[in-house]
Amino acid sequence: MRDQGSNIGVVQAVAPAVLSATNTADPIDLLGFNAATVVINTGAIVSSGNFTATLQESEDGSTGWTDVAAAHLVGTLPATLEANSVYKQGYIGYRRYIRTVLTKNSGTSIAAGVTIVKGHPADAPVS
């Protein structure tokens, strides 16, 4: 009853790294899940690295990528990612694929990683 781990799927979208350019993550397939949460971890920022995070969705995972409408998001991400922070944003849309885009606006770099936690599985427990 208290085991949350059997009711979620966890996928690494962006491996923790120092990012010095815009990063567009690979598509994450949500088949079998009815919700997802994006978790962004940041570390050091070098030379005023200014990065913005957005979530995109697609029907087929290869074409038609669009930013997720605000009505399909729970919570907001900041206008600029700060150093040594953790952010989360829920996705309640209906598209099969999502991905994150960490856009470099200025500066040198940011240390960051992104994890997608898939929730509300159609079949549980999740392996």
Please give the residue range of the domain that contains residue 105: 9-121
Let me know the angle formed at the C-alpha of 24 by 72 and 50, rounded to the nearest 5 degrees: 90
Q: Does the residue 2 lie in any domain?
A: no
Give the pLDDT confidence score for residue 40 in this predicted structure: 98
pLDDT digits over 50-83, tens only? 999 999 999 999 999 999 999 999 999 999 999 9
- Residue 28: its pLDDT value, please? 98
Residue 81 lies in a domain: yes
Q: How many domains does the chain have?
A: 1
- Asked whether residue 93 is domain-assigned, the answer is yes
Total-model pTM: 0.94
Q: Which pLDDT value is given to residue 2?
A: 74
Residue 1's pLDDT is 56
- Cα–Cα distance measured from residue 115 to residue 20, given in angstroms and rounded to the nearest whole number: 19
Using DSSP, state whether 71 is helix, strand or coil.
Answer: helix
In a domain, 109, yes or no: yes
Kindly report the CATH number assigned to the domain that includes residue 111.
2.60.120.1110
CA 46/CA 101 separation, integer angstroms:
19
Spans of the chain below 50 pLDDT: none
The pLDDT value recorded for residue 127 is 80
